[in-house]
Structure 1
């Protein structure tokens, strides 16, 4: 891993992922999973340049999404969803599908938003 505290930057993530791919070159990778700290335009561009690395990454609710008509925050795109119902949005000009849902936390019953960004590996 990294010899430092705190979040990684895009360069460090790319180097770490390249090292992983070298070590496990003979294995089939279904997809890369990451949390909200592993986002950024340069990082997504890097992942999209490698069609052999599908990904599923949580994104922050204030991430701006572009559907080709307008740019909106992720939580606004999915604000009308009922708890437990998923909605999807294709990001204009890319092979990315964003899914969002609202859930109730336990035991307090507070509503919170979850959003996942996924590379569409079934589209060529």
Structure 2
């Protein structure tokens, strides 16, 4: 499968904490579980993870609570009109920052590790 999805975890200022590039066939919930494993050692002051409705899963909530001691808060869209509720705009802004780099506008890379590395270093290139 050539298509890929970018999963990212950002702080409240929109700076990248962790990222993974996964095949498009993997569910968001499974990718989020793999993304958050072991992050509590690097980020001990984190208490809450805010995600959109695509990540709503009791299994994911238990994994995040059990593995990291974090709380998962799901933000749901209440209306059909385009509006980014609550803190979700922070993640959207981070993707917009990545989109400023021509090479990040699309996944041109052959290797997944190269994609993840470029996502990690892209903010330093501006």
TM-score band by shorter chain is 0.3 to 0.5
RCO comparison, higher one (Cα < 8 Å, 6+): 2
TM-score scaled by length of structure 1 = 0.36
Higher strand share: 1
TM-score scaled by length of structure 2 = 0.36
Higher helix share: 2
Q: Which has the larger radius of gyration?
A: 1
